[in-house]
Chains A and B, each alone.
Chain A
Amino acid sequence: MAALLAVCAAGYMLWSAKAPWSFLLPYRATKLAALLLVGVALSVATVLFQTVTANRILTPSLMGFDALYVFVLTLLVHMLGATGYAAIPPGLLFAANLGAMAGLGLLLFAGLMRLAGGDMIRLVLSGIVLGLLIRSMTEFLQRLIDPSEFQTVQSMSFARFTQIDPLLLALSATAILAALAAAWSLRTRLDVLSLGDTAATGLGEPPARLRRQALVVICILVAAATALVGPLSSGGFGPSSFFGLIVTAFAHIVTPTHRHAVLIPSAALVGGLVLVGGQFIMERLFALATPLTVVIELIGGAVFLVLLLKRRAA
């Protein structure tokens, strides 16, 4: 699988060079790095989230990260206008987004964990409701703003891999790599958690503390990835981003194991492969300008249905 990813990456870098290499290589390398980072971050976050919630059809985007990104975007455009928005230094915007998302995530988890007494179902449901609330506020704001400015919002609400600022890339890479290292260090403890709460406690691994740690890692991964490229679900209004779902479903097929020492790298590879390979095909072979996310939503919807139906049958 790593070889396949390498082929895709190389193909992406070298296929049909129409510009001088000196321009093309750095340009494509930035994009490739962004694709890989986002793919890996969201995949690993989804694996952790599914273990923590003991549910294979949930993804962290359910908790309203994407919605919050679009909300911050809309709010800024509303207050400053499209030109004012464009004038904000990207570093500042990135920091604001990252802070807002990670902050909301942690607040939500910390507060709700206490209220729900560690009840994950309640936590997830509250996350969905909060996401809905943010979405409605966004829609309300979007009705208030100028139609031409609305265009700006809309075009920014899809994940973009075209204009990546190298500084932002470095910033989010640092955050994501640190979070990945943390995820890796949790791997055997997560294995124990997948046995269920009672068994995990009996084996000396109290689930509440481990869940908190895993949720912090998930928050950082998702927030950094979304702040870098924007929401990966359709315009931030989709029920959930199907990307993580596709990736973990494939990872479970390719490496059918419960062990996170295998699952985490396997999902990371699949995630990188889906984004890089998908972008390569969309851009180079079909020469289409369609955002990759649209295709991912389409395939993801199908995967989601299959997972649901298989579960019903089992």
Chain B
Amino acid sequence: MIRITDLHHRLGGAPVLNDIDLTIPHGGLTALIGPNGAGKSTLLSLIARLRPIQRGRISVGPHEIGKVADRDLARVLAVMPQSTEVSARLRLAELVGFGRYPWHRGRPGAEDRAQVDRALERFSLTDLRDRFLDEVSGGQKQRAFAAMAYAQDTDYLLLDEPLNNLDIAAARDLMRLMRGLADEDGKTVVVVLHDINYATAFADRLVVMKEGRIAAQGAPSEVVTDTLLAEVFGTTARVAEVEGRPLVIV
């Protein structure tokens, strides 16, 4: 599990996160939602040690962020970057191959190659493996980055707004794959989402943030209500119940 205690963070003098205490249980898919500027991405980047922790503690499983060696953490925790711009010209299979780097440190073996093939297969990229990244669609590119994180073979997977700029088919595909990673492989998936409806459809747990604090957390049907939308998001959208789960009518 991911345990966050007494976490504070400031960016350019302004407080972004205030006294966060949060436990994300092992297994399942947890979605971080909240209005723009609530601190979701900052929180995720602190868990992923993309920024140094200023105050407080975060531990992922037995490892405390900032104390454990980077290469050891890379075998436990994978991050899918928000921006998928890469300056190098890479083929899809090469990109996915980088996911094995924490394990082989530059000398891939037969096991690593097999792992890459499995990742490509699972994310339906086998036919595209020799294409360059700039030759595939946005959805396929996003899938390739997800496949890279999968090839990293970690217990924990963090994704920062993976659905940005994806059409509905690509977005649903990606979320279904993430659901599969949680259900079949027992991974702990934490994802920052913008669209509440995607969060309620695919996540087991929601963590709602507002102004650098945790506003609510729990199962989607408990958390997403008219009052929450009014108080946290400041909008008067109605919540209906469709097929047993809450759906925000936009």
Contacts and interface: CB of A to CB of B under 8 A. Distances in A.
> A and B, one complex?
yes
Interface string B155-183: 00000000000000000000000000000
A192 B79 contact: no
B87 A202 contact: no
Contact of A201 (B48, B87, B94, B149): B48
Q: How large is the interface on B (under 10, 10 to 19, 20 to 34, 35 or more residues)?
A: 35 or more
Interface residues of A, number: 22
From A194, A195, A197, A204, residue with most partner B Cβ within 10 Å: A204
A258 interface: yes
A255 B8 CA distance: 48
A198 B74 contact: no
A206 B52 CA distance: 11
Contacts of A198: 48, 50, 79, 81-83
Given A199-B98, A202-B48, A205-B101, A194 B87 contact: yes
A188 interface: yes
B14 interface: no
B102 interface: yes
Contacts of B85: 196
B13 interface: no
A54 interface: yes
Contact of A195 (B75, B88, B102, B152): B88
Interface string A53-68: 0111000000000000
Interface in A241-257: 256
A92 interface: no
B4 interface: no
A206 B71 CA distance: 9
A144 interface: no
A19 interface: no
A196 B86 contact: yes
B88 A204 contact: no
A199 B81 contact: yes
Nearest to A55: B87
A203 interface: yes
Interface string B62-93: 00000001111111011111110111111000
Nearest to B80: A202
A204 B71 CA distance: 4
B79 A202 contact: yes
A188 B105 contact: yes
A199 B83 CA distance: 9
Given A196-B83, A196-B86, A202 B105 contact: no
A195 B98 contact: yes
Nearest to B89: A258
Contacts of A201: 48-50, 70, 79
Given A188-B105, A188-B106, A198-B81, A203 B86 contact: no
B87 A203 contact: no
A256 B94 CA distance: 13
- 5 tightest Cβ-Cβ pairs between the two chains A and B: A204-B74, A188-B106, A202-B79, A258-B88, A198-B81
